[in-house]
Structure 1
Amino acid sequence: MQLRFGLTLVLSVMSLTGCSTLAFNNGTLDYKDTTALEPLKYPEGAMVRPAAPLYPAPTVDALAIEHAPNLENKRGNRFAMPRPDLQSGDETSDAAQNTADLSHPQLVTDGNLNPLLKIDGNSATIWQYTLATLSSLNHSIVGQSKNRYEVTVKIDQQIYVLRLTAAGSSNNLAVFNADNSFADKEKAAELLTQIYQNWPA
């Protein structure tokens, strides 16, 4: 009788606390130990139609992997999303106000048909969102200006400068070459479209 009661008690406690509290290794971090497989090899002389992968694995820069967030629990044996940082009252309300004042980016062009990304709101907050978006796109950041909203990125062995300029409450994000001339319109439009589509707000 006591054994049955004890077993029932243990099972009920485990079901109430849940497996996540006990932090058993459930295999959610196994992806970190994967290895690259060689491409499929066909026998010589075989009549094989060339095949392109439907979902090719992206090439991830080593710098992006190094700065990737650590998504595991304290014991390091299961996947866990990080908890949000709670700030003090004034800082939280200021951040919420800055975020609330932001408009969603708009793809526009200037008088010379150079593509721009127009965003209304606080320049500092917009710049933080821009850097976060670039990080999520895994573009290599080569350098960043300390005095103004400007970052140098390397895309397909080409150096580009992303610059945010403010005019009142409106801000324009433009893409330049290393010599401060406007970047090729197609390349600039492609990068700004990626930022537009992955904008976090």
Structure 2
Amino acid sequence: MNLIDWFQKGLTYEEYKAQMKVNLDEMNLIYEKFELDEQQKSELTALKGRTSKVIVLTEDWCGDALMNNPILMKIAKELNLDVRFVLRDSNLELMDQYLTNGTARSIPIFVFIDGEGNEKAVWGPRASEAQNLVDTLRSELPPKDAEDFEEKQKELYKKIKQTYLEDQNLWHSVANSIISKLKNEK
């Protein structure tokens, strides 16, 4: 299946939100609060017309998706991109073409394509600043065989999610990371 076929198979943003069971309120909150700054808008102006569509590999339970997807939607609005959401867990054939480090089905993954379905850029699953945050917090976890590992891991996920919901500097880091990837597209 080529990328245009995958794109056509995907859900619109409204369809994606309508089927969400997890993180909808959080995703909407970020979408409502986040605004691209003037520098970002200026950089995006220079990129208009280079790509026309985005395939988003995602799932509603994903903490990274709850932050990254609404930021992508603001960028897509600025660039007039058509965005479709493809659910990872029921589309592993596509997901397995975009593994992180060649092994992980990490999401979200944003595949930017032109009107003919040619891949122009791929971004995801995290901006480097978000990865650094996650790595730092994970380094504080006890060993996996520790009695309190699961409890501490749940606390870690809550802390990451709360940071994703509140840290507007992190939101701008995500936008900058996506914009940087688009500037260097194929």
* TM-score band, normalised by shorter chain: under 0.3
Q: Which has the higher contact order (CA 8 A, sep 6+)?
A: 2
The structure in which a higher percent of residues are strand is 1
Higher-helix-fraction structure: 2
